[in-house]
Structure 1
Amino acid sequence: MSAGSPHLIGWSGDAVADSVLAVIDADTAVIEFSVWGQWDRSLSTQARIVLDKCLAEHPTGLLIDLHELGDPHAVSAPLWLTACAQAAAMQPPVAIALCARANTPLARRLSRLGARDWLVLYATIAQARAALTGRRVVHDRMHLALPPDPAAAIQARALVEDACRCWHLPDLRRRAQLVVSELVVNAAEHAGTDIEVIVSLRGSGAGASLHLAVYDGDVILPRLRDPIAGPLGPSLTDRGLGLRIVGAAASDWGALPARSGKLVWAIIRSRPEVPA
């Protein structure tokens, strides 16, 4: 995964995309990942892509719904086990709750492969949601509600400054303020709805990073577009440069569908010092 590359969940013109869906809850930062249809090579590829993007977002929890997956030979089991192992190795670890029909070949194979060491199988989505939201609480988190006004980016930058001062991350402040400003302006201009900004601390010590999330009420995910240059070359006012600025300043970024809208996120990590 390259730094600064966009991780957008969603495809166009791909029938398999209709069988894989990831939606994030802006309040709990839990992602619900669903896959349905007959398991084959194409569905396996898309499921792996979406799972990688879900984990790149570093959510507080990941709910994997396999109720409608047709996998009579349980060949998808290694993918779910690998995802659980990757989530457990993250700092902080990502809790995973897996929902699958009982007494199916997939559920039995997961048990034989030692799934109980890494995940808990739930019978219903409601049970899995309750388990994830009840066990994971984000303590180092700051929240701000903003109007759909580009000038609201000033308040978002102030929130980031407070977060970096509180969590002792002065080296991340400038890049984080630049990124959150671009995301809020984009939300105000393109969505035109109320905006929520969530700033969270991930990790600790030298490995600490800043997680930025901007929620709006527009369901259309952002797309990275080539700016249209004028006769004198690219201009700072050209459309399409905002997300390129985010990509250059952030370590990772992406977008996820959310209930009644979308969530655009970015992770700001420390970068190695470059000799003068």
Structure 2
Amino acid sequence: MIAVASDPVCRLTVATKVAGRTSILTVGGVLDSTTYRSLRDTIIKAALDQPEAVIVDITELTVPAESALAVFTSARWHVGRWPEVPIVLVCRHSRGRNTVHRNGVARYLPVFATVESALADLSRHGSPRYRQRARAQLPAKVASLKRARDLAREWLTAWSQAESIPVAKVIVTALVENVLAHTETSPDIRMETDGKTVTVAVTDGDPAPAVFREDAGINGVPTGLRIVAALSRAWGNAPTPSGKTVWAVIAPENRL
């Protein structure tokens, strides 16, 4: 399957191909301050779809200012804690590979001469741990709060993760409530487990990152995202081309 997307002024194009469970993005055009965010968010979106890896072929990419190559380390940083999908670069000419190394990008993302060599390296190092996943799009209605909690119970029961249900229900309620209160979009919820931790993620169509409000709660009792932070091992925002995903990882020490 191949899909082609471009930024509004057609200075950057990204062709997406799925090979097995790996997403291959072939990037063309110009990477500069006007296309930086578009490329970063496209790479992050590919990782959030949770393939085994994302390969970014930058052979045909023109980079007038080498500092813009930080887009790749930025994308990796956003997905480093979750969903932990490897991102690797491909450049068929040595000039581009040398530029990637010279700017320190290769310290964080491996760079290969061909897509085939990148796929071979990923195969040698094995796939990430198997994860069970589920996802649901909910309407922008208060009733979605109860539906989100019900889905958390159903999914985690099916995955033999009943001990995580109480905290997962609290977190998914807080995240969905945040979408309903601060955006005009519908929440898209997903959960996954690798057998050791549970991740709760909610996507919406507002690009503004989720942040703590000044109000810490009533009588010092945390509310909203402060609850999420208090009940999870880690949480964060991941930008997407149409908004953002807010996620939280529940570990055994977070169980109620």
> Normalized against structure 2, the TM-score is what?
0.61
The 1:268–1:48 alpha-carbon spacing in structure 2 relative to 1, beyond 3 Å, is same
Which of 31, 55, 77 is the equivalent residue of 1:52? Answer: 77
Aligned: 1:214 with 2:239: no
The 1:58–1:269 alpha-carbon spacing in structure 2 relative to 1, beyond 3 Å, is same
Aligned: 1:249 with 2:231: yes
Question: Unaligned stretches of 5+ in structure 2?
Answer: 1-31
Aligned: 1:161 with 2:173: no
Secondary structure, aligned partner of 2:253: coil
Structure 1 residues 121-165: Cα deviation after superposition (integer angstroms, max 9, x where no partner): xxxxxxxxxxxxxx99x8722222211123311111111111221
Alignment of 1:1-276 (within 5 A): 19=36, 21-22=40-41, 23-25=44-46, 28-29=49-50, 38-39=65-66, 48=73, 50-59=75-84, 62=87, 64=89, 72-75=98-101, 79-80=105-106, 82-83=108-109, 107=113, 118-119=121-122, 140-202=132-194, 204=195, 208-227=196-215, 233-234=219-220, 241-271=223-253
Match of 2:14 in 1: none
Query: 1:227·1:234 contact (CA, 8 Å) conserved in 2?
Result: no
Structure 1 residues 20-62: Cα deviation after superposition (integer angstroms, max 9, x where no partner): 624325982357989966445x966x85465233121125564
Structure 1 residues 214-273: Cα deviation after superposition (integer angstroms, max 9, x where no partner): 11121222122332678xx5466xxxx311110111112111122322211111121189
The 1:215–1:273 alpha-carbon spacing in structure 2 relative to 1, beyond 3 Å, is closer
Structure 1 residues 82-121: Cα deviation after superposition (integer angstroms, max 9, x where no partner): 546xxxxxxxxxxxxx7xxxxxxx849x99xx8675259x
- What one-letter code is carried by the residue in structure 2 that aligns with 1:51? R
Q: 1 CA distance for matches of 2:137 and 2:87?
A: 25
Secondary structure, aligned partner of 1:75: helix
Query: 2:203·2:243 contact (CA, 8 Å) conserved in 1?
Result: yes
The 1:43–1:248 alpha-carbon spacing in structure 2 relative to 1, beyond 3 Å, is farther
The 1:16–1:26 alpha-carbon spacing in structure 2 relative to 1, beyond 3 Å, is closer
Query: 1:200·1:212 contact (CA, 8 Å) conserved in 2?
Result: yes
Q: 1 CA distance for matches of 2:251 and 2:180?
A: 26
Match of 1:128 in 2: none
Judge which range, 160-169 or 260-269, deviates more.
Answer: 260-269
- What one-letter code is carried by the residue in structure 2 that aligns with 1:143? R
The 1:32–1:197 alpha-carbon spacing in structure 2 relative to 1, beyond 3 Å, is farther
Query: 1:256·1:264 contact (CA, 8 Å) conserved in 2?
Result: yes
Q: 1 CA distance for matches of 2:246 and 2:162?
A: 23
Secondary structure, aligned partner of 1:160: helix
The 1:83–1:71 alpha-carbon spacing in structure 2 relative to 1, beyond 3 Å, is closer
Q: 2 CA distance for matches of 1:38 and 1:193?
A: 36
Q: 1 CA distance for matches of 2:246 and 2:172?
A: 10
- What one-letter code is carried by the residue in structure 1 that aligns with 2:186? D
CA RMSD of aligned residues (A): 4.4
> Normalized against structure 1, the TM-score is what?
0.58
